[in-house]
A = this chain, B = another copy of it.
Amino acid sequence: MADAATGRADISELFQLLRDGTPRTRAELAKSTGLARSTVTGRVDELMRMGLITPVGEGASTGGRPPSQFALNPGAKVVVAADLGASHATVAVADLSGELIEERSEPLPIDRGPEQVLTWVVDGTDALLESIGRRRADVAAIGIGLPGPVEHSTGQPVNPPIMPGWDRFDVPGWVREHLDVPVLVDNDVNISALGERALRWPGTDHFLFVKVATGIGAGIISDGRLQRGAQGTAGDIGHVRVARDVDVPCRCGNSGCLEALASGPALARTLRERGIEARTGGDVVRLVKAGNLEAIQAVRQAGRDIGEVLTTAVSLVNPSVIAIGGSMSRVGEHLIAGVREVVYTRSAPLATEHLAIVQSAAADRAAVRGAAILAVEHALSPEGLAHAFAPARA
């Protein structure tokens, strides 16, 4: 398939039809694509030899032997999904429908640097593959989420604030040297948007996922597609200035940034200034859950600050669902109440008429699931198929 330029377009067209999992007969495939019956028969045989599709039951008979039906074989290959957070890492193996088969997760600070962290991913991949009885050659692609900005065209982190040693590190190149498969890298917020949508909002074409944790960022899905922008920085809202207090200094060098006012560390600092012991965002969450009034008020105000920036996001991209996730969303309704208060007050009626602002339901499952989707989307694309199922590879 990889070298047959003529056949590639039609085999790909056939497969793009079949990958939704709905079984179809050869006749139905010929009808849907307009390809000749003989072409369809040849291509179906080829896709079966590659293991990409599989016969699944039989279609309605029109007299005589009922025709065979075919659909995607989700077990034809696997993908690897890695979610690398500030202090924690998860690696998983998923099938071609994006379902996770097996995973492992452990504390692993990202500031150990790329070689140590990515070695853990490679070793984890090998261990997972062995435990499910598959080989490296069965891996069609690997999707990796990182807790910082990633340049989409190169897969390299660019000036990531909490990732010393990772700036401009060639993540795809390094991983490919150890696992010879296509490597997709994106920031953790983008993959969380993909995962949250797949798990809870599969029919929603205009979707915003907002992560509120040590940093603040958004993943934007418009028209059903993840939006990365020209340099891959779309959704990086942490350093937008909010109107309330423009003098609070931010680690980025500016002041009044959303992150400097409404992130976990910013809330802990606010509470410390009021004489309340709080070192981390986690402490703030605990205080809120214990009913501390000042913590609740601070979280509510953080929600309003986030809401101010999201009001602009609603004006700009007009989503129908905003899901708020990240560790700070564990405070429950207080944060979201602040977001809603501002967004519904400040937005045009038409933009909020059908807008739902909800807590992330997938929580920390969203990122690893999204990394799997990133890998599957590539593996099943016309470009990815040529690699994943090239005959010459081990």
Contact = CB atoms under 8 A, between A and B. Distances in A.
Contact of A349 (B13, B159, B241, B354): B159
How many interface residues does chain A have, given as a range?
35 or more
A350 B158 contact: yes
Nearest to A38: B36
B318 A228 contact: yes
A331 B166 CA distance: 45
Contacts of A311: 240-241
Contact of A308 (B205, B228, B241): B241
Contacts of A141: none
A231 B6 contact: no
A225 B225 CA distance: 11
The copy count of this chain in the complex is: 2
Interface stretch (A27-35, A113-121, A172-180, A369-377): A27-35
A353 interface: yes
Contacts of A355: 230
A233 B351 contact: yes
Contact of A350 (B233, B346, B353): B233
B232 A227 contact: no
Contacts of A290: none
Interface in A249-287: 252, 254, 256
A341 interface: no
Contact of A346 (B32, B228, B254, B320): B254
A237 interface: yes
A84 to B, nearest CB: 20
| Across the A-B interface, the 5 shortest Cβ-Cβ residue pairs | A229-B318, A10-B34, A230-B320, A243-B243, A206-B230
Given A10-B33, A229-B318, A235-B316, 17 more contacts: A8-B34, A35-B36, A151-B350, A205-B230, A206-B230, A230-B320, A230-B354, A231-B318, A232-B318, A233-B348, A234-B316, A236-B315, A240-B346, A241-B311, A241-B346, A312-B313, A313-B316
